[in-house]
Amino acid sequence: MTNAGLSPLRGLAKLRKARTRRFSSYDRTGGNDDRLHVEPGQTVTIAEHKGAGIVTHIWVTIQCQSESYLRKAVLRAWWDGEAEPSIEAPIGDFFGMGHACTKNYASLPMQASPEDGKAFNCYFPMPFGSGMKFTITNEAEHDLLFYYYIDLELHDQLEEDLGRFHAQYRQEHPEPFDETGLTNEQVLFGGETVDASDNYVILDAAGHGHYVGVLYSVYSRRRAEVWDWYGEGDDMIFVDGEPGLSVPDGVRKPDPRIGPTAPLIEDRPESAPGANDAWPPTLHGTGTEDYFNTAWCPTQDYDAPYHGIIAAGGPNWTEPVTLYRWHIEDPVIFQKNIRVTIERGHANRRADDMSSVAFWYQAEPHKPFGPFPTVEDRVPTFRRPYHNWSAVDAGKRR
């Protein structure tokens, strides 16, 4: 038996037959150069095993002289000999360091620890039945000095109902919305969304599984001097082509800032079998900050086990923003397919830089991820004062 279904504390007393093992970057000479030197353009296999097991913990820290190197180093993983990776993300974004900026935070499955959030930890269990492989690719201009642990349990075999772990990076730089003749309030709060076709897509997966969360990053390109709020975008999750639940709505009142209330949108089935676009969405939320379990246009950093704001964006939200939401107690289960989306501001009227890493478990095979963004496209569009930790500490022994 494995321990994949046990809670962290209740399961500690249960004796197991697994064998604990580790891959790491320790110095094979017995010296203290406990890191890999990954050259520009190089891909290195950091863990590979044949047989059954569960990855239980990953720790990483990196030094590099290149700016935005956390977007230029790419983590990939494969399970059970599959051709397409099940994990594919810039290493910073995978651990919650959106925009290639580091900061301390602590959630249940993911943490970034001192100093200054440069020690990355992941505790998502990652089962594999016949083998696994992890690689790191350096697309930066300078060497990566790459320190890591990958801890795992080896098993004779796994239960058949264990899904495989997946993590996919996505990003978007949409075209600006025409604000001609509109007030700031009308841009941010006016208009209607009658379908999700223009929403930002966090996840589009097919098969049987469950969505367990997202790390979501936003950077404002609107640059309004007053109230440059990036939120109000409703989360809309479409599951198995099935519409959501709703109750009669007769309590709306017009908001004088944005004009009269529009008519209610009629329920409608899928546009075609398998389109997974029935209205209303299976799960329909009320705004970006609401989906991330916060409220009232937050400007405060906050970290909790299942949700948090790693970077709040400053008093006018003009600095980088990164949030997380884990569906650990409330996974979104899908039998056939799932599409997780969020509006780009209300009614998709914002054109911010958006990026995300979605996390889910499913039975293989999974839907191929599609082309990975080029390193040029992944580099954050903003330029700001940058503390190059590796340049300051270059040559320092640990």
Residue range 170-207, pLDDT digits in tens:
999 988 888 889 988 888 888 888 888 899 999 999 99
Task: Say whether both 345 and 362 belong to one domain.
Answer: yes
Q: What is the pLDDT of residue 386?
A: 38
Task: Say whether both 183 and 310 belong to one domain.
Answer: yes
pLDDT at 395 over 60: no
Task: Say whether both 177 and 150 belong to one domain.
Answer: no
Domain annotation covers residue 72: yes
Q: What is the pLDDT of residue 274?
A: 82
Half-sphere exposure of 209 (CA within 13 A, CB side): 25
Mean pLDDT of 377-398: 51
CA dihedral sign, ordered 42, 46, 49, 53: negative
Domain annotation covers residue 202: yes
Domain annotation covers residue 9: no
Domain count, the chain: 2
Residue type, 189: F
Task: Say whether both 241 and 282 belong to one domain.
Answer: yes
- To which residue do tokens 């970077």 refer? 311
Query: Where residue 388 falls among pLDDT bands split at 50, 70, 90?
Result: very low
Task: Say whether both 35 and 149 belong to one domain.
Answer: yes
**Of all helices (H) and strands (E), which one includes residue 393?**
helix 389-393
**What are the phi and psi torsion angles at 59 (to 5°)?**
-125, 135
Task: Say whether both 321 and 245 belong to one domain.
Answer: yes
Task: Say whether both 301 and 212 belong to one domain.
Answer: yes
**What are the phi and psi torsion angles at 71 (to 5°)?**
-90, -15
Residue type, 256: P
Domain span holding position 360: 170-367
Task: Say whether both 58 and 197 belong to one domain.
Answer: no
Domain annotation covers residue 377: no
Residue environment code for 270-282, b if the CB has 16+ CB neighbours within 10 A, otherwise e: eeeeeebbbbbbb
Domain annotation covers residue 297: yes
Contact 71, 380 (CB under 8 A): yes
Domain annotation covers residue 130: yes
What span, in angstroms and rounded, lies between the C-alpha atoms of 236 and 41?
Answer: 38
DSSP-assigned beta bridge partners for residue 94 = none
What span, in angstroms and rounded, lies between the C-alpha atoms of 139 and 22?
Answer: 26
248 CB-contact burial (10 Å; exposed 0-12 / middle 13-18 / buried 19+)? exposed
Mean pLDDT of 37-58: 98
CATH number assigned to the domain comprising residue 83: 2.60.120.1390
Q: What is the pLDDT of residue 192?
A: 87
SS3 191: coil
Task: Say whether both 139 and 53 belong to one domain.
Answer: yes
Task: Say whether both 342 and 201 belong to one domain.
Answer: yes
256 CB-contact burial (10 Å; exposed 0-12 / middle 13-18 / buried 19+)? exposed
What span, in angstroms and rounded, lies between the C-alpha atoms of 73 and 86?
Answer: 17
Task: Say whether both 311 and 176 belong to one domain.
Answer: yes
Q: What is the pLDDT of residue 396?
A: 37
Q: Which residues, 6+ apart, have CB-to-CB distance to 272 below 8 Å? A: none
DSSP-assigned beta bridge partners for residue 342 = 200, 235
Q: What is the pLDDT of residue 3?
A: 54
Residue type, 308: G
Of 19, 77, 59, 70, residue with least CA distance to 150: 59
Domain annotation covers residue 244: yes
Domain annotation covers residue 7: no
Task: Say whether both 225 and 313 belong to one domain.
Answer: yes
Contact 125, 8 (CB under 8 A): no
109 CB-contact burial (10 Å; exposed 0-12 / middle 13-18 / buried 19+)? middle
The whole model's pTM is what? 0.92
Work out the mean pLDDT of the chain and round it to a whole number. Answer: 91
At 83-128, the pLDDT tens digits run 999 999 999 999 999 999 999 999 999 999 999 999 999 999 999 9
Of 122, 89, 100, 99, residue with least CA distance to 357: 89
Contact 136, 46 (CB under 8 A): yes
Q: Dihedral through CA 31, CA 33, CA 39, CA 42, nearest 10? A: 70
Q: What is the pLDDT of residue 384?
A: 40
Residue type, 268: R
What span, in angstroms and rounded, lies between the C-alpha atoms of 24 and 324?
Answer: 28
Of 122, 132, 172, residue with least CA distance to 326: 122
